[in-house]
Structure 1
């Protein structure tokens, strides 16, 4: 009988995803993709023309997983399941990525202020030739923000490495009036869905 895998590779730079996997007791090693190569990033997060948010977040996740698997083969690493994920924020059908500067961060907060937006996180587990995947969606309602609150928040370091320009686990929690969905999914890794995918891939968690 083939033994169950007890450890996975995590194809993500996100410290929040590492924290969430540790929360549910999943052992992992990082298998990071590079943003800077002579040909550009190994996985592009540029939105393609007319690409729907659901298609975008799934495509980026699967590209991360596939490239990580190739890296595992090239480096002749032990064969293990690979977990990849991508999170995007959607407001009225428009994808809000990571703000590049203060002006973009302020504009995103102004757009989110007083409105409900969606957070989509696609998770994929690649194990051998099998892919287990799902998209989790949450609705997040922001209260109306003053210009002073927006500028004070955007003066911190928090908005600049996160889709939509905010982190629910940080000071932006002050802005969130209501959520419907998965708190951990908004952070970047929906734990219920992730656990189910890992179990499908043969990983025993509890």
Structure 2
């Protein structure tokens, strides 16, 4: 298999944000009198507004997003880069890659800057799509902007919703078991314990594609 572009999820893939996000969602759950474990189970790979609609349909999702954002600011809103992320992105050079995340543009830009990670020209955020993961819209939009057929793209995801979105878009999906057990990611084409361990495989796919096109 030779692929032409890598489409990365952000949280749990390029940024090690799990512990911070769990503290924020737990704090919000306590504020709203909700079961923290249940709320947390519905957050991965989704927009906060979608989680709020599921667990507290009587609340205004946009207003609660504001509350969650304030909690994030209080946390410092800085996440370390996932092990191996900087090296992998540095190796991609001018090869096509994109971000496809349920997060928002401004916070992600700030976090990437603080983590010293580069940003690609194509970035798809929660506010850029009508339907979030597991719907494939985000990944389809990224492939369209890259002018690359989804079948020639590899999605890198850490959550079942994201894996489902990538598969529905027609992409090959590589999962990293950083936030979920491998069994929960079984629909992915390949699964690695971490991005660092997946990196050689991803780079080999890109190298094969570049050689096939004489680059």
Calculate the TM-score normalised by the size of structure 1. 0.31
Higher helix share: 2
Calculate the TM-score normalised by the size of structure 2. 0.30
- Greater RCO, CA 8 A, separation 6+: 2
Over alpha carbons, which structure has the higher Rg? 1
